[in-house]
């Protein structure tokens, strides 16, 4: 049996920024709040953390800062995937060296790949890693779909232990679960599908929602694992307006606005992302207020 990196909620944490660059003071504050709120892991420099527009130096600094700040209290999963396999290998080796607990490897974007290319690329990265690797399938962003049959091949690699499934295609995820069984841990990559994927044997969620609502997101999973399916489902549905508002513009635009409103730094993003449209931001904050968040 392979090592399970975490069960429950991993926050795909934002990277707080200001005009000067990464805002490490608020990054530390956010990490501490997430851990105090009970999340089971933290993903650094992923999609939500704007890893694709961090400079190489910033990317490495963000990963090391997160590892050092967390200091072993929960696993840190480092976003080290890239459309350049050689770069992903180099960054993965670095993350292993600084003490990250696992890697998150997105499918290649823009240049994409065949399924054979995905197997070859992910195998090369996993071969270079001394820590468990979680695949990340998000075809709406990458234009590249990691098929269940391909994951079944990759799941035989000893260092490939999980997959973040953000295809949104439940039928595909059912096929994935049927083919892979216990060879790979499945995590929801969409906050509106936490309960359905747990019901398919999923281990948890890599979450955007848990940035502003960590306790509530953890509670969805805790209720499910305790056998309270109805309670888990009820909370999932209760939070749906917030989830929908967090994706009313491309992630992480809305969650950056949410976290700024909650006092975790400024609402600053890296181009080509720009701050949320005022009418969408008002709706998001209204939904968060209705869900019990105070500003």
Active-site amino acid positions: 136, 164
Q: Is 201 left (phi over 0), alpha (psi -120 to 50) or beta?
A: left
Angstrom distance (rounded) from CA 165 to CA 188 = 5
Tokens standing for residue 164: 């973040």
> Is residue 53 within 8 Å of 109, Cβ to Cβ?
no
Surface-to-core class of residue 169, CB atoms within 10 Å of its CB (0-12 exposed, 13-18 middle, 19+ buried): middle
- The 8-class DSSP code of residue 267 comes to -
Angstrom distance (rounded) from CA 204 to CA 7 = 6
Q: What contacts 172, CB < 8 A, 6 or more positions away?
A: 147, 148, 165
CB atoms within 10 A of CB 140: 10
Angstrom distance (rounded) from CA 150 to CA 205 = 21
Angstrom distance (rounded) from CA 117 to CA 127 = 15
DSSP H or E segment with residue 171? helix 170-180
């Amino acid at each position: 049996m392979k090592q399970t990196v975490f069960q429950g909620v991993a926050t795909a944490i934002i990277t707080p920024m200001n005009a000067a660059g990464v805002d490490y003071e608020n990054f530390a504050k956010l990490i501490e709040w997430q851990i105090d709120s009970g999340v089971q892991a933290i993903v650094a420099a992923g999609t939500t953390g704007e890893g694709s527009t961090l400079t190489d130096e910033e990317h490495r600094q963000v990963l090391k800062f997160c590892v050092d700040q967390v200091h072993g209290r929960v696993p840190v999963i480092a976003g080290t995937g890239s459309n350049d396999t050689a770069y992903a290998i180099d960054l993965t080796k670095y993350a292993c060296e600084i003490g990250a607990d696992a890697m998150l490897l997105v499918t290649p974007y823009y240049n994409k790949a065949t399924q054979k290319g995905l197997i070859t690329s992910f195998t090369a990265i996993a071969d270079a890693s001394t820590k468990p690797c979680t695949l990340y399938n998000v075809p709406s962003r990458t234009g590249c779909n990691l098929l269940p049959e391909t994951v079944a091949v990759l799941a035989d690699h000893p260092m490939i232990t999980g997959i973040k499934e953000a295809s949104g295609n439940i039928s595909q995820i059912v096929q994935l679960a049927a083919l892979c069984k216990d060879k790979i841990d499945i995590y929801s990559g969409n906050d509106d599908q936490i309960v359905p994927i747990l019901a398919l044997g999923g281990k948890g969620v890599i979450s955007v929602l848990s940035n502003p609502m960590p306790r509530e997101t953890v509670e969805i999973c805790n209720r499910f694992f305790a056998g309270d399916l109805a309670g888990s489902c009820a909370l999932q549905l209760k939070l749906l307006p917030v989830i929908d508002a967090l994706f009313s513009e491309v992630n992480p635009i809305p969650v950056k606005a949410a976290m700024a409103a909650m006092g975790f730094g400024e609402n600053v993003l890296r181009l080509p992302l720009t701050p949320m449209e005022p009418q969408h931001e008002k709706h998001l904050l209204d939904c968060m207020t209705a869900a019990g968040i105070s500003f």
